[in-house]
Amino acid sequence: MDKARRLNHIFGHDGKTIIVALDGFGFSDHTDGVDYSVKNVKNLVKYGLNCALVTYGQAQMFEKELVDVPIVLRVDGNASIFDSSVPTTHRFFDVTDALKLGADGVVCMPMPGSKYPGAEIASYQMISDLAKQGQIWNMPVLAETLPISYAVQKDDPHTNDPHYIATAARLGAEYGADIIKTRFTGDIESDKKIVQNAKRPCVALGGPKTDNKTYFEYVHNLMEAGVKGIACGRNITQDPNPVGKVAALSAIIHEGKSVEEALKVYNTVQSEK
């Protein structure tokens, strides 16, 4: 299979995507809602989901549920599972494992500017190794480029600074990534600069856990800035109505509808109990 075909599985016909991030078990002990979402992922696809980001174990455990769902394999994980700040990551899988599982892509988390000894250079080696494998096997590589650290740190404003985010995004592209997943600010002009600097299709990290109106406004601004979609975890998996959430996000991302229209969709489409 060529790379363009796999990319067309990750993105919709409009070149945009909604990815549900189900890889929380590799990064945190706070995983409420993940199993429910993966068991019901086909229903999410029905309402606009394009792809699921999964761990190696999930791809095996939920093979039946995921059989018709495009998946991206998470190849790295938190090196300290009970530290929710994710001090550093380590790679456990690679492109050959993704091929065996029938995945359409791989994702890892480079951390430009990491303060942990050796973590930054190791993350660059990880993304470059995957990019070289991806070139051989026609496998898209998604780089989740997060400046300084996984967590936004109050004592280090660089973690949420558009200049640092844009620099980190470009590094992902320079080391060979096909897609960039990163933070965005919600400010249209700042986010345009991040997108332009990345030189690759960008998808947004799930974003702040907040009320629906505020979140839909954030996503609407991302679309205005040229972001190609979102890769969303808890804002879908921990929502009391995950199917309605995906349907509402699809209204904004795939149909270009307003925040008010998305809110109506959310309240109309209900998840099965």
Containing structural domain, residue 84 = 3-268
- Tokens 């939920």 correspond to what residue? 62
C-alpha to C-alpha distance for 235 and 206, rounded to whole angstroms? 7
The amino acid present at 235, given as its one-letter code, is N
Residue 29 falls within a domain, yes or no? yes
Tokens of 43: 């229903």
Give the residue among 93, 111, 173, 106 at the shortest CA–CA distance from 134. Answer: 106
Q: What is the pLDDT along the chain (273 residues), one digit of tens a residue?
A: 899 999 999 999 999 999 999 998 888 888 888 988 888 899 999 999 999 999 999 999 999 999 999 999 999 999 888 987 888 899 999 999 999 999 999 999 998 998 888 899 999 999 999 999 999 999 999 999 999 877 666 666 777 899 999 999 999 999 999 999 999 999 999 999 999 999 999 999 987 788 999 999 999 999 999 999 999 999 999 999 999 999 999 999 999 999 999 999 999 998 775
Give the residue among 61, 69, 23 at the shortest CA–CA distance from 44. Answer: 69
Which residues neighbour 124 within 8 Å (Cβ) at sequence distance 6 or greater?
110, 171, 175
Q: What does the pLDDT look like over 234-263, one tens digit per residue?
A: 999 999 999 999 999 999 999 999 999 999
The pLDDT, as a whole number, for residue 155 is 61
C-alpha to C-alpha distance for 245 and 206, rounded to whole angstroms? 12
Residue 124 falls within a domain, yes or no? yes
The domain that contains 90 carries what CATH number? 3.20.20.70
- What is the number of other CB atoms lying within 10 angstroms of the CB of residue 48? 22
Contact call for residues 191 and 172 (beta carbons, < 8 A): no
Which residues of the chain form beta strands (DSSP E)? 17-21, 51-54, 71-74, 76-78, 89-91, 105-108, 141-144, 179-182, 202-205, 229-232
The pLDDT, as a whole number, for residue 273 is 59
Residue 82 falls within a domain, yes or no? yes
Residue 191 falls within a domain, yes or no? yes
Q: Domain count for the chain, please give it.
A: 1
The DSSP output letter for 159 is G
Residue 273 falls within a domain, yes or no? no
Residue 245 falls within a domain, yes or no? yes
C-alpha to C-alpha distance for 168 and 146, rounded to whole angstroms? 7
The pLDDT, as a whole number, for residue 32 is 86
- Tokens 């189900």 correspond to what residue? 22
Q: What does the pLDDT look like over 188-204, one tens digit per residue?
A: 999 999 999 999 999 99
Residue 177 falls within a domain, yes or no? yes
The DSSP output letter for 271 is -
The pLDDT, as a whole number, for residue 207 is 77
Residue 122 falls within a domain, yes or no? yes
C-alpha to C-alpha distance for 37 and 252, rounded to whole angstroms? 21
Contact call for residues 131 and 175 (beta carbons, < 8 A): yes
